[in-house]
A and B are shown apart, each in its own frame.
Chain A
Amino acid sequence: MSNLVAAPVVLPLITGALLLFFRRRTWQRTISLVSVAAGLLAAGVLTARVWSGGIQTFYAGNWPAPFGITLVADLTSAAFVAVTAVAALAVLLFSFHSLERRQEEHFYYAAFQFLLVGVNGSFLTGDIFNLFVFFELMLMASYLLISLGGRPMQLRETLKYALINNVSSGFFLLGVAGLYRTYGTLNMADLAVRISLSDSGGWLTVLGVIFLVVFGVKAAMVPLHVWLPEAYTAGPTAIVGFFGGVLSKVGVYALLRTFTLLFVEDVGFTHHRLLLPLALITMVVGIIGAVAQTDFKRILSYHIVSQIGYMLLGIALYTPLAIAGTIVFVAHQMAVKTVLFLCAGAAERVTGTTNLKRMGGLLTTHGALGALFLVAALALVGVPPLSGFFGKLTLVQAALEAGRFGSGATALAVGLGTLFSMIKIFRLSFWGDVLGDRRINKDSQEFQALLVPIVVLVVFSAAMGAGAHYVLGYALEAAQQLLDGQAYIQAVLGQFPPGGDTRAATAALVPPFALEP
């Protein structure tokens, strides 16, 4: 029991509520900056504590698991919360100088805090129904943030995004109903115990596929990805950076959690036969989509889809090395994808467009941006010693070790496609003759301020690459923890004996106030 586990959820929740009352722009900026910085600190301490002291749990109101609301921080979720906090800080700093005034005044910062509640809550929750609630919170905030500004294209794309996700939320509830009907519990650790005790005769696989569809929509897995590229192209660039970096990874995390803890009855079917082809198709379709585009943000959006494929590949292979590769890759993407979108945002601020054909020669006029973009793009492609290399290396190595040579080859070929479209962005927007107008000077204070968050994330990515030995060590440990499951179950259920009938147990339950002497 540690209250620190709740901090990444409670802190932005309180801040978001506060921001609804303090409407002055300086107040909004100051409060959210302080809160995000405090969140980063809390996430850092939490990760250190999980690393040294094992899985940390938090029982809301001291209700024992599996009855109360449980938050669990294991190595994977703690690391994701920490990297999310870094990305959130960078995006917030970028927002100060890239948003229109009317966007800032219409609850941008409050919605951003609620988004953080949803993201951190999804990472930390130990209960599948709470996962649904945090998902919905995150989605509501994201609808608002994408449509903020009210341009016709934003509204149109938000509507599609909202309608598709509404259907997927329906499936989520259906899956929850199925799980509860079958196992009588929704606490993930308790579910894992009951699943291991009984033979569902294939029914669990059906439920697993329902959840695969649900999380596949959130993670933009092909063929459920159609909403992503356009919605992310439409939104304000600063927040789209956070969406691209972090939001789509929440779906991957949910898959990682449920498909290592719950739906492991028939790994041969759900992981190898179903998820593996989907992962490869996701990679290939995403990269083909990216190669065809000439819009800065849209190329990056299609890249999100393609990179999701890599993460799914790790889950599909289902070996410790592959899962470790997925964890490293997710952390790397959270930083690098965000920074690439921030570069797009800076280029948009400078030239007034995201169309690559109308912004050439940025390297001549704004050299620093070009240099930073190049480093981030190379990190995305996977050039050593940057962070992307080690994620891809681990995944490809895991594929080869598992004897899946086709998957390894596909991953490498898609990497080539990534390089191609990054070169395309660089050639069209940074090289060549100066095209289009330049709205802010490279020496202006505003441009310098835009570069700060970009530098932060590029340094983070480089540090992940430089410290790859430690990052991989951490990821391998986290992967072992995910695949083992016993540590998780033990940490959550602890002294409460699992596996009993919920109806009898509920009747026998003593309310927490009676526990006090």
Chain B
Amino acid sequence: MELLLATTVAVVVGAAVYLMLTRELLRVILGGVLLSYGINLALFMAGGVEKAAPPILNSDGVPAQAMMDPVPQALILTAIVIGLGVFALLLALGYRTFEEHRTTDVASLSGVEHE
């Protein structure tokens, strides 16, 4: 199971890097977002992947059986929310940049000159 997940992370991150290296603005942004998703998946594996009960205690405060570690899932939840915010902001920023520069070619957005 871990091997499968690790392979998935590798594929997703690989796709993200490929997208980020292209010259199309939207693809670069999507690459950035895909990267954060790939890393979220890696974060998921940090808690270990195994079969276990949900982390809920009985009424007497003791675990019924071996429980899953909930911390990485809480971390991913936070990271996904933050990632969504960054995604929205990047898209808006990308669109405004396209409006002002009339291009989505990343190479033509290089340079250091002032307007």
Contact = CB atoms under 8 A, between A and B. Distances in A.
Contacts of A506: 55, 67, 69-71
Interface residues of B, number: 44
Contacts of A233: 114
A421 to B, nearest CB: 18
B35 to A, nearest CB: 5
A319 interface: no
Interface string A63-76: 00000000000000
A452 interface: no
Nearest to A503: B69
Interface in A161-184: 162-163, 166-167, 169-170, 173-174, 176-178, 180-181
Nearest to A293: B112
Interface string A296-327: 00000000000000000000000000000000
Contacts of B72: 177, 180
A155 B90 contact: no
Given A166-B35, A180-B71, A150 B96 contact: yes
Interface in B86-115: 86, 89-90, 93-94, 96-97, 100-101, 109, 112, 114-115
Given A173-B36, A180-B47, A506-B55, A159 B115 contact: no
Given A150-B96, A177-B42, A503-B69, A133 B82 contact: yes
Chain B facing A: main interface SS: helix
B63 to A, nearest CB: 5
Interface of A: 129, 132-133, 136, 140, 143-144, 147, 150-153, 155-156, 158-160, 162-163, 166-167, 169-170, 173-174, 176-178, 180-181, 186, 230, 233, 295, 502-503, 506-507, 510, 514
23 contacts: A132-B79, A136-B86, A140-B85, A140-B89, A143-B89, A144-B89, A151-B100, A152-B101, A156-B97, A159-B25, A159-B93, A162-B93, A166-B86, A170-B36, A173-B40, A180-B46, A181-B46, A503-B67, A506-B55, A506-B70, A507-B63, A507-B67, A514-B61
